[in-house]
Structure 1
Amino acid sequence: MELRHLRYFVAVAEELHFTRAARRLHIGQPPLSQQIQALEAELGVALFRRHQRKVELTAAGQQLLPRARQILADSASAVNAVRRAAEGEIGELRIGFTSSLPLTPILHHSLQQYRQSFPDVKLTLRELFTAAQFDALENRQLDLGFVRFNGPAPGTLIRVAELHRDRLLAVVPHRHPLAAAAGIYLNRLAGENLIGYPRDSGAGLRDVIRQLARQNGLELNVVQEAGEAITQIGLAAAGVGIAILPSPLECVQLPAVRYVPLLDDDAYLAIGLATRHDEDSPLVANFLASVRD
């Protein structure tokens, strides 16, 4: 049973007149009659009672009509869904982000812009450290990720487009001698007790700080590790040591800490948008275009 046969049947059933139905379908009346006869032969039942001046649905035709309408509607809906998916207007987009990204305008502006343009796309958001986002992208568990990463993309499967750079700040206990400084260079932190991310955290900031220290010939003294930036700020407030965090964290205002910018040229943490090199999803393409806009 072909869709065109059902379209012809519905037209005749609604018009109850072969000539009017043929005119509506933009075909001749004889070919329409032949197609209806072919459908009846395939089903093995009469769908219409044909009188000299009148056409009526049989009981079988009455049963077929609502089902034919539903099949045609489902077919049109499927075609529409397929086309919208091909244009990236529906589907699911899986996005990763690091913990400090919600404190920046980049993430919420990007999401708001995209939601306005593509309201029917489901956004699945996951908070992950940068290294975990790279792994998830390679394993196709994420479609794109807002990462904290300075330098070239890791390996050949991932590419990172830099969006913004945030200055690094020393989070200093308010009674510390450095708390009153307008800015300092990293070498001023030599010998200070520092708070940092654990080795296995996957935080891109840890690698940036280590690289900065190597460039300056410094051996930093990390006395306390914490996997969350908020925890590091709280520990700095308690006098445990000095943390180094990107500038968006300055919005966390505690009376017992001061935020002092690092003045070194490379003392920044970039925000990048990571995708796979072989990515061909229209969902991703639309999101990237939205971010560029």
Structure 2
Amino acid sequence: MELRALRYFVTVAEELHFGRAAARLHIAQPAVSQQIARLERELGVRLLDRSPRRVRLTGAGRRVLDAARETLAAAENVRLVAGKTTGTVRIGSAGGLTTRLERAIDALREHQPGFEVILVDLPVTARLDALRRGELDLAVARAVRRAPGVRVRPAWSEPLLAVVSARHPAAERDAVALATMAASALRFPARECDPPLHDAVEDAFREAGVTPRLGRPTGTTQDTIVEVGSDQESWTLLPAGLVTESARIRPIPLDPPLEVTGSVLTREDETPDACVEAVVSVFRDR
């Protein structure tokens, strides 16, 4: 069994779409399909249910996904140990933070020009687990208020935006209240996709005294945006950094504004060195 096949499987499982997984891996889609089929033959189980409209994990696929992530993390840990002599820093990244991540990498290299920086893209729950296991030196995340074994350092704020189809009745508004959107079906990733962000959105509605009409849960953030863009009756609520440009959707500021906090995370039992402190400082709002 090759690590490459496990990596391809994990990527498809996170995207639930072979085309997006191939783009993320920078390879042709048939190569991804071939590796997944080979892995299924090796394991003797079906990992994914495929249809022209949707890809879903099977029960076996969900079990294998956890083990595959652990295996890949262990392999990366071997590389990390080997790289300590040259100065390797592994950062668990989050989407929509390109500018802050670039500043963080520049800050690390100012302190130590020989540092190699590795960005690791993991779902937030896996990101926290990898940090606790010492497989990451630090991580960034939105809406994490506290987590066992993790030191949370609030660093920046992002506005929450209502995202609607370009054909939605509210699409031409300059701003919108949560109560105004309550009649439309709220589409949002299931809680297991991003528990902190899901809870932050629920808290925003609770504090506003608004009960949204919930639509069917979605998958990834990208899936949510695509599905909302195809449905003029629904909407979603997302941090500004996660909203991708598209002619099919309209992001609308909230009135009154609502924000979500982004944080730099380190292990609770670890005293950050000067390099990590420099990274924390550049992630802060300027």
Residue among 62, 84, 96 paired with 1:100 = 96
Residue among 276, 281, 284 paired with 1:287 = 276
Residue among 96, 106, 114 paired with 1:112 = 106
Displacement after TM superposition at 1:120 (Å): 2.0
Q: Which amino acid aligns with 1:132?
A: A
Q: Which amino acid aligns with 1:140?
A: G
Is 1:195–1:223's contact at 8 Å kept on the other side of the alignment? yes
Q: Which residue of 2 aligns with 1:84?
A: none
Displacement after TM superposition at 1:281 (Å): 5.4
Q: Distance in 1 between matches of 2:203 and 2:116?
A: 38
Q: Which residue of 2 aligns with 1:66?
A: none
Other structure's SS at 1:224 match: coil
Q: Does the C-alpha gap of structure 1 residues 137 and 218 become closer, same or farther in structure 2, counting only changes over 3 Å?
A: same
Q: Which residue of 1 aligns with 2:268?
A: 277
Q: Where in structure 1 do 4 or more consecutive aligned residues deviate above 3 Å?
A: none
Displacement after TM superposition at 1:263 (Å): 2.6
Is 1:89–1:118's contact at 8 Å kept on the other side of the alignment? no
**Residue 195 of structure 2 corresponds to residue 199 of structure 1:** no
CA distances 1:40-63 after superposition (whole Å, capped 9, x unpaired): xxxxxxxxxxxxxxxxxxxxxxxx
CA distances 1:116-135 after superposition (whole Å, capped 9, x unpaired): 44232232321123333222
**Residue 159 of structure 2 corresponds to residue 167 of structure 1:** yes
Q: Which residue of 2 aligns with 1:124?
A: 118
Q: Distance in 2 between matches of 1:225 and 1:124?
A: 32
Structure 2 runs not aligned, ≥5 long: 1-83
Q: Distance in 2 between matches of 1:230 and 1:163?
A: 25
Calculate the aligned-residue CA RMSD, in Å: 2.5
Q: Which amino acid aligns with 1:191?
A: A
Q: Which has the larger radius of gyration?
A: 1
Displacement after TM superposition at 1:150 (Å): 5.2
Q: Distance in 2 between matches of 1:246 and 1:182?
A: 17
Other structure's SS at 2:216 match: strand
Is 2:95–2:242's contact at 8 Å kept on the other side of the alignment? no
Q: Which residue of 2 aligns with 1:246?
A: 239
Residue among 137, 146, 149 paired with 1:143 = 137
Residue among 204, 209, 225 paired with 1:212 = 204
Q: Distance in 1 between matches of 2:256 and 2:144?
A: 15
Displacement after TM superposition at 1:217 (Å): 3.1
Q: How many residues align?
A: 199
Other structure's SS at 1:178 match: coil
State the identity %: 26
Q: Which amino acid aligns with 1:289?
A: A
Is 2:95–2:241's contact at 8 Å kept on the other side of the alignment? no
Residue among 240, 250, 271 paired with 1:258 = 250
